[in-house]
């Protein structure tokens, strides 16, 4: 059969990456997220899984010019009706794609401590910082009858300064990752469906 050049390889990689991402998200949700004993015994296991998923989704989305397999490569081979579907997908998920791209790049190059390139320059989501503030207030309440003094307010102000200015520049934390996991699953399944429909389209053409 005369499929477009390299399509079968791209299709195989999309399927392989999709299965790996979905499996890791499932493992994270069922075995890691609420398993404090496991997280105590295996240092940063939640970050390891989170980073693995983000890097694989980055590959699936082709967020760098060097990735030669994934959504962008499928788009190059696709007929117009599929190109529209892919473009609609990119528009719908543009914010989270930008966030994944930024985090992927910073995970790969986190040793860059320059003013413009540092991973540590990324802010945290409002959800994550608000959670940290609430945890801090509970701690103060437990030791000081809930009365916040000047230094406590300075700590809270410091936390607020860590908030990101936009979704694109949010550093993923495990709590944000868990909150977005259903979106990741949705995105992966859409890309996988596009690849499968393209495969069937080319099969019929031949």
pLDDT by residue (tens digit) across 150-188? 777 776 777 676 666 566 667 788 888 999 999 999 999
Cβ–Cβ < 8 Å for 148, 140: yes
pLDDT at 156: 72
Is residue 106 within 8 A of residue 63, CB to CB? The reply is: no
Cα 141 to Cα 172: distance, rounded to the nearest angstrom:
29
Higher pLDDT residue, 150 or 91? 91
Both tokens of residue 171? 């550093």
> Chain-wide mean pLDDT for the chain?
82
Looking at the predicted structure, is the pLDDT value of residue 114 above 70? no
Tokens 């994270």 label which residue? Answer: 28
| pLDDT > 60? residue 113 | no
Exposure string over 172-181, b if 16+ CB within 10 A, otherwise e: bbbbbbbebb
Q: Give the pLDDT mean for 82-86.
A: 93
CA 62 → CA 98, 100, 115, distances in Å?
A: 12, 11, 26
Nearby residues of 52 by Cβ (< 8 Å), 6 or more positions away: 24
Confidence of residue 142 (pLDDT cuts 50, 70, 90): confident
Of residues 145 and 185, more confidence is placed in: 185
Distance CA 5, CA 37 (A): 49
The pLDDT score that the predictor gives to residue 117 is 45
How many C-beta atoms surround the C-beta of residue 71 within 10 A?
24
Per-residue confidence (pLDDT) for residue 139, from 0 to 100: 72
pLDDT at 202: 85
Distances from the Cα of 5 to the Cαs of 54, 74, 182, 203, in angstroms? 28, 11, 33, 14
Confidence of residue 112 (pLDDT cuts 50, 70, 90): very low
Does pLDDT of 109 surpass 50? yes
In angstroms and rounded to an integer, the radius of gyration of the C-alpha atoms of the chain is 21
* Average pLDDT estimate for 87-97: 94
pTM for the model stands at 0.76
Decide: helix, strand or coil at residue 163.
strand
pLDDT at 27: 95
154: which 2 tokens?
């300075």
Using alpha carbons only, give the angle 151, 157, 160 rounded to the nearest 5 degrees. 150
pLDDT number for residue 1: 57
């Amino acid at each position: 059969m005369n499929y477009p050049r390299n399509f079968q390889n791209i299709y195989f990689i999309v399927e392989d990456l999709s299965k790996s991402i979905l499996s890791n998200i499932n493992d994270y949700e069922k075995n890691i997220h609420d398993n404090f004993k496991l997280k105590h015994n295996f240092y940063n296991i939640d970050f390891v899984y989170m980073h693995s998923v983000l890097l694989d989704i980055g590959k699936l989305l082709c967020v760098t010019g060097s990735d030669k397999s994934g959504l962008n490569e499928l788009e190059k081979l696709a007929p117009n009706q599929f190109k529209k579907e892919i473009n609609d997908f990119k528009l719908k998920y543009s914010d989270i794609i930008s966030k994944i791209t930024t985090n992927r790049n910073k995970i790969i190059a986190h040793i860059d401590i320059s003013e413009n390139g540092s991973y540590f320059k990324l802010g945290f989501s409002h959800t994550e910082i608000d959670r940290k503030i609430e945890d801090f207030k509970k701690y103060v309440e437990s030791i000081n009858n809930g009365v916040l003094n000047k230094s406590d307010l300075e700590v809270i102000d410091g936390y607020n300064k860590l908030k990101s200015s936009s979704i694109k520049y949010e550093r993923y934390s495990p709590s944000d990752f868990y909150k977005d996991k259903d979106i990741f699953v949705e995105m992966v399944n859409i890309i996988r469906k596009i690849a499968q429909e393209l495969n069937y389209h080319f099969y019929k053409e031949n």
